Amino acid sequence: MSLQLAPILIVSEKKLVRSTLGSGLEKAGFKDIRTAESAEDALVLLQVRAADVVVTEWMMNGMDGIELTRKIKECDQALERFTAVLIYSARDNPEDIVAAYQADIHDFICKPVNHTVLAARIAAAARVCGLFKLKQTQTAAADAPAASLPAADDGALQDPETGAWNQTYFRRQLLGMLKNSRLRRQQTACAVIGIDEFNRMAHSYGKTAGHELLGGLADFLRQNLRPLDVVARVRNNSLAIAVHSNDPGFDPQGLFLRVIKNISRQSIRTSAGNIAITVSIGVHNVAASDSGIEPEQLLECCFSKLAQAHAGGGNRMVA
């Protein structure tokens, strides 16, 4: 994923700070920027959707930036993810800076900030987060039985038209997730998502616009799902999503319902203009009793449910 698509969260009580930092990052090319008025609001936003980078002020009413960092790191440990936290502060004496790093921040930014330098530091932090995700996916693949993995050409794991992972990579990751479900009692869910009336749209707007719609949907999913969720193109007109968690309260169906709701509010930019779409999703949650299911069987189950969702009028989920 491009570093410019990395999810960023800015936390400050001051509207001017949120606006100034946000506009500076937008000018630097970053596209996925959210803001929070307090540490408490930030934690709520991070529960809905993780961020690769959090830029937070130190001094705030209630929970300060250091305590927010500790809370984020506790969540990271529980969910096996990584969030780079950058503290933004006028406190520049060595003792304060050392205390901030002891709280496990990624970087310390002294006021006043140079926006070019800030953008470079955020890009570096997002790169570290990306390396963590890559290591996680490689570990999941290594956990899967080698004999069961499909053969793959080196360096050929991405779909060139959408930028999403391809079928080979998806099956490999899903196999690792299913193994973790058996061994570690983790939740795993698979979903297949399709654009409603895709063939009609591709006929009306052209083949190129059809590819751009799928690519735009893939970008939307990568920005709105969690960092370790896997998005792949599995058939010509469909994308697949694999998710897993060791959190007993994790609700994959709620996650996918939010995707349906949020995409209906968006338009995807194509060479034929901005096109509004709706999507349908077929979902299968893997219980401990059926965690021995093979990836191909799981995908076929999801495709069957997707067909039901399309037949039911679209813009819906069948689980």
| Domains of the chain: residue spans and CATH | 3-138 (3.40.50.2300), 148-318 (3.30.70.270)
pLDDT given at position 252 = 86
Give the pTM. 0.54
pLDDT given at position 31 = 86
Pairing of strands 187-195, 238-245: antiparallel
Tokens of 297: 């069987």
Q: What is the pLDDT along the chain (319 residues), one digit of tens a residue?
A: 456 778 999 999 999 999 999 999 988 888 889 999 999 999 988 887 889 999 999 999 999 999 999 999 888 877 778 899 999 898 888 888 888 888 889 899 888 888 888 888 898 888 888 777 766 665 555 554 443 444 444 347 888 888 888 888 898 888 888 887 777 667 889 999 999 999 889 889 998 888 899 999 998 888 778 777 899 998 878 999 999 877 767 788 888 888 898 888 888 989 999 999 999 999 998 875 565 788 888 999 999 999 999 888 888 999 8
Give the C-alpha separation, 203 to 9, whole Å: 39
Pairing of strands 230-235, 238-245: antiparallel
Q: What would the pLDDT profile of 110-119 be if each residue is shown by its tens digit?
A: 888 888 888 8
